[in-house]
Structures are given as structure tokens and as C-alpha cells.
């Protein structure tokens, strides 16, 4: 679902690509089937402004006991995806995206939100960023958490509708509708083509 952009996208914009890692794109327990379909749009946006690009990576706990609170139960359930078990190469960005680093930067996180426990907000503020173009995985988990955090921090947010993906179709569709219907003053949704046309230098 796409409702379009209200205004041009200014030069004070960063592209925030959430967790497009090999462990989501390839054949693991966390494989997200739509990831391969969204990669062309994401790659196109990355190529347009690599110097304004930030990738996040979701880094699992080494073992369940290294996590805190309810995260222990989470990592017990997903024990095969913990850092001490998982092939470390699967934490890397999807191969088509690796060529953008540098100049793109990588922020590692241990929870869903890109803001919790990271220096991302401070780094963006230092660069005068007030608008975020958001792509990545998954629409209804890490993308959702990051978008809600960005709302609280006051960013204008553009979610690229053909540049986000989930392993669950219905929640993905519902989230795109929610962004437009409930958060329309702070979140816009648009396809990659429209974003590129609207993004000025």
C-alpha cells in the first residue's frame, strides 16, 4: 500500500536500511522469502546516495544466558541462531549490498530497534539529518520498532513500500496500512521510483 509523498525529500536525509543480512536472505531458520524480491529496490536506493546510507545488523546473543530478561527465553527458542552456533558470515550484509561499505556505515544492534544501545541518533544529529528513508527487514519487527522510535525522536520518515519485507504477508500489509492511516503526519509510504524522483541532492 502506497500513499505517496507530501513534499520533496531534502538533502538532510539519510537512508536507513534495516538488517538486510545473509541470515535473513539465505536459507536459515530466519529466512525471509520476500527479501530477494525487495533487494533490487533496496540496491537501487543504496546506489543513489551511498554516502548517506546507514545499514543496521541484528547481532544475536552469544548464548541464551548472555541475554537478559525475556530475551533469554527468546534465545532459548532460537538457540540455533545464537552467535556461538551460527556461521559468523551469516551476520554479514547480503552480498549485493556489501559493495556500498564504505562510504555507507554499519550500526550493530542487539535488539529490534536501531536506536536502543547505539550511537545512531547522535551520529545523524551531528550530520543534520531530519528525514529517514527506511528499507529492510522485517516490516513488522525490526523495521516497525525502528520506525516507532524514529517517530518519538521527531524524524520525518519515508517507508519504501517495495523496499521492506516480512516472512508474514498479512502483518506486512497491515503495517504499511497502519503507517499511512494512524501515523500519516509522521510517516509516508512510497515506492522506490517515487522516492528517487523526489530525493534532491
d(CA 27, CA 132): 30
Contacts 24+ apart (CB under 8 A), 105-110: 105/53, 105/54, 105/55, 106/54, 106/55, 106/56, 106/57, 107/54, 107/55, 107/56, 107/57, 108/56, 108/57, 108/59, 109/56, 109/57, 109/58, 109/59, 110/58, 110/59, 110/60, 110/61
Which domains are assigned to the chain?
Answer: 13-198 (3.40.50.850)
Asked if 164 contacts 172 with a C-beta cutoff of 8 angstroms, the reply is yes
Q: Report the C-alpha gap between 86 and 83 in whole angstroms.
A: 5
- Three-state DSSP class for residue 24: helix
Cα 185 to the chain's mean position, in Å?
21
Using DSSP, state whether 156 is helix, strand or coil.
strand
Report the pLDDT value the prediction gives residue 21, as an integer from 0 to 100: 97
Cβ atoms 1, 176 nearer than 8 A: yes
Low-confidence residues of the chain, pLDDT below 50? Answer: 1-2
C-alpha cell at 132: 529517514
pLDDT of residue 179: 85
Amino acid at each position: 500500500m502506497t500513499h505517496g509523498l507530501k513534499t520533496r525529500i531534502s538533502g538532510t536525509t539519510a537512508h536507513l536500511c534495516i538488517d538486510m543480512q545473509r541470515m535473513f536472505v539465505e536459507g536459515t531458520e530466519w529466512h525471509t522469502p520476500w527479501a530477494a524480491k525487495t533487494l533490487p529496490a533496496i540496491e537501487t536506493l543504496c546506489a543513489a546516495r551511498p554516502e548517506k546510507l546507514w545499514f543496521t545488523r541484528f547481532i544475536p546473543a552469544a548464548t541464551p544466558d548472555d541475554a537478559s530478561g525475556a530475551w533469554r527465553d527468546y534465545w532459548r527458542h532460537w538457540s540455533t541462531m545464537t552467535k556461538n552456533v551460527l556461521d559468523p558470515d551469516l551476520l554479514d550484509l547480503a552480498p549485493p549490498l556489501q559493495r556500498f561499505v564504505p562510504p555507507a556505515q554499519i550500526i550493530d544492534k542487539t535488539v529490534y530497534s536501531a536506536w536502543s544501545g547505539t550511537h545512531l541518533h547522535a551520529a545523524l544529529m551531528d550530520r543534520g539529518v531530519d528525514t529517514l528513508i527506511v528499507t529492510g527487514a522485517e516490516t513488522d519487527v525490526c523495521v516497525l520498532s525502528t520506525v516507532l522510535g524514529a517517530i518519538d525522536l521527531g524524524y520525518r520518515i519515508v517507508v519504501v513500500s517495495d523496499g521492506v519485507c516480512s516472512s508474514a504477508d498479512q502483518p506486512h500489509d497491515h503495517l504499511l496500512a497502519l503507517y499511512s492511516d494512524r501515523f500519516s503526519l509522521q510517516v509516508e509510504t512510497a515506492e522506490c521510483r517515487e522516492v528517487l524522483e523526489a530525493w534532491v541532492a
